[in-house]
Amino acid sequence: MSKINMTVNGTALTFEPNATAYNKFINEMSMDNKMAPANNYLRRIVHVECKEALDTILEIPGSALQICSFVNDQFAPKLEIELKN
């Protein structure tokens, strides 16, 4: 299991993403529903000791999507894909 340690507005957070939680997040997200899946995903993967701190940070508008983006860039980095003729 990979751990992602970060600091958000001076608050230390640790996330432990996994394929099951990541896939559930992607499957729950839709064009008109992004915030609830992002919040749920982060709450599923945050380290137990950081839950309270995360709740405080998630009160900041847009924070869930920014944190999700950072976590997912680390957990599921972009692949280098080339077209072959």
Structure tokens that stand for 60 in this block: 């900041």
Reduced to 3 states (helix: H, G, I; strand: E, B; else coil), residue 4 is strand
What does DSSP assign to residue 9?
A: T
- CB-count exposure of residue 24 (10 Å: 0-12, 13-18, 19+): middle
Q: Which of 2, 9, 5 is nearest to 63 (CA)?
A: 9
Please tell me the pTM assigned to this model: 0.89
pLDDT at 77: 86
Candidates 75, 60, 61; CA nearest to 6 is 75
Sorted by where each begins, the domain ranges of the chain are 4-74
Q: Read off the pLDDT of residues 14-52 as tens digits, 9 standing for 90 and up.
A: 999 999 999 999 999 988 888 999 999 999 999 999 999
